[in-house]
Structure 1
């Protein structure tokens, strides 16, 4: 339930955006460079990883105020049902609980590099990612914890979010993979954002059928549907420029959170500590990429594969098509098609996997030189 100020301001911005994705800087020097979370009243809380404080922002005031201070490297956050804020102190190896007055006490001590936090649905059990431990733990209300999901696909897990069906996802900072987690911690690769081994995925958030992620070193916002079709929707080179998809720029986007209405995203710029807002998520100006993924009717099977997987898609018109295979470090391994002209209609392209080692790969498909759509493929 937002405050009346939050609702009024959003209404104004929605009217201006006219259902087109629009980026607006709401606080220029917020003191926030990392994780974001919104409380039950619509107030936004953010941390400064290269600092020691948690700041609070009341929409749409001109500045933030320090809510709690004295931490090592504050990182992911989550609110409990009673309004208590929980915060992962990454290099401090602790998880804190912070009351409504900003008073902090240690909730879990000696937890290896906690990064992201989220509460189990309809429960007081806290879920925490361990960045260097490559694991996800569940933590009881008394602070006792146990490893719940470990190894396999996890490589620097940080962000956590739920979809509308209550399914849990995590994002790997190191290799930009987005993974769905089952009831018993089993891991299913959904997809992987584009990039190389020196390019990272910050946090993730869910809104209206998509998982959004911050591509920290690429200064871009990535969007993936729940079938693994993904594309860059905002950003290019480093900058702090407001506007639509044709002009907007970010500078180390890192924290990201969706409002409960799922109409708006807030993003923290790590390099400038600017707090940014993205509106018009339903009918964005870059929806052409999403429309492309839908119009292609594309599928990849079998997946997992052993020797060959077949990529099936449909072109609405004669087009130049490129298909590439990348490893989890973002290195190009196979150029299956290179700007090959194909006629309108259905197509099948075989992806040769026999000579590749077992592991996870990303298949990228681009049409007429546009931004690619991507999907994860596992080699058994």
Structure 2
């Protein structure tokens, strides 16, 4: 397994990780109700606070930041000038979020077992998957399939036609962090096993790529390196993806 190193610490339950175009890292502090920016010189700055249980975070190509408030059921947008506003409300414990291939925001409704697609241009919401059990993470593959990690122990592949296929038999408790690494492969936090695993959705072959991660929750892929947020020590760790 690749060598892992701690890149930043002193977070309060780091749940989501994202990067802007300059390479600065942003981390949601679930129990700290805040969002931290870590600049390239490792200086830390709280860029937003008073958001109840921030969970998922993504950043678009214009460096706008989107964060889900698990505690208050809304999506927050922070523009590059620092202006912040709720842009969509009425969710049900929204947890992990991701961009779809067509630029919509995919949101996991943990308590209702749904995936919601939010059109950021007009604010329209559409439920695109139902019948899941505590979904906390979602990623989309190039063929428009979804893979959803669920705290119940399920990892589910959802085909573009809506067919759901269970692929998580080797996982204990898939967590919030899930990213597409190739057209057929996703990397997933296995929170219940304190690991990061890769799964090929064509062959169902599972590979463990990191272990002994106390309370692993967050996962991001940036410049061929994985970034893993662990609640056990309040840290973010870095691991080469090769």
- Which TM-score band (shorter chain)? 0.7 to 0.9
Deviation at 1:285, TM superposition (A): 5.6
Larger Rg: 1
Partner Cα separation in structure 2 for residue 250 and residue 103 of structure 1: 36
Deviation at 1:109, TM superposition (A): 1.8
Counterpart residue number, 1:177: 114
Partner Cα separation in structure 2 for residue 143 and residue 167 of structure 1: 22
Partner Cα separation in structure 1 for residue 117 and residue 107 of structure 2: 7
Moved over 4 A (4+): none
Q: How many residues align?
A: 202
Whether the 8 Å CA contact 2:97–2:107 is kept in 1: the answer is yes
Please state if 1:256 is matched with 2:178. yes
Counterpart residue number, 1:136: 75
TM-score, normalised by the number of residues in structure 1: 0.50
Please state if 1:104 is matched with 2:44. yes
1:215 to 126, 129, 150: 150
In structure 1, the gaps of 5 or more residues are 1-59, 236-248, 287-380
Counterpart residue number, 2:20: 80
1:341-360 matches, within 5 Å, as none
Counterpart residue number, 1:165: 102
1:1-380 matches, within 5 Å, as 60-61=1-2, 63-120=3-60, 122-151=61-90, 154-182=91-119, 183-195=121-133, 200-208=134-142, 209-217=144-152, 219-235=153-169, 249-254=170-175, 255-259=177-181, 261-279=182-200, 281=201, 283-284=202-203
Note the aligned Cα RMSD (angstroms): 1.9
Partner Cα separation in structure 2 for residue 160 and residue 181 of structure 1: 10
| Bigger relative contact order, structure 1 or 2 (CA pairs below 8 A, ≥6 apart) | 2
Partner Cα separation in structure 1 for residue 172 and residue 40 of structure 2: 31
TM-score, normalised by the number of residues in structure 2: 0.77
Partner Cα separation in structure 1 for residue 44 and residue 160 of structure 2: 37
Whether the 8 Å CA contact 2:114–2:132 is kept in 1: the answer is no
Partner Cα separation in structure 2 for residue 263 and residue 124 of structure 1: 28
Deviations 1:232-270 (A, max 9, x none): 2231xxxxxxxxxxxxx11111121112x3332111111
Higher strand share: 2
Whether the 8 Å CA contact 2:20–2:63 is kept in 1: the answer is yes
Partner Cα separation in structure 1 for residue 204 and residue 52 of structure 2: 42
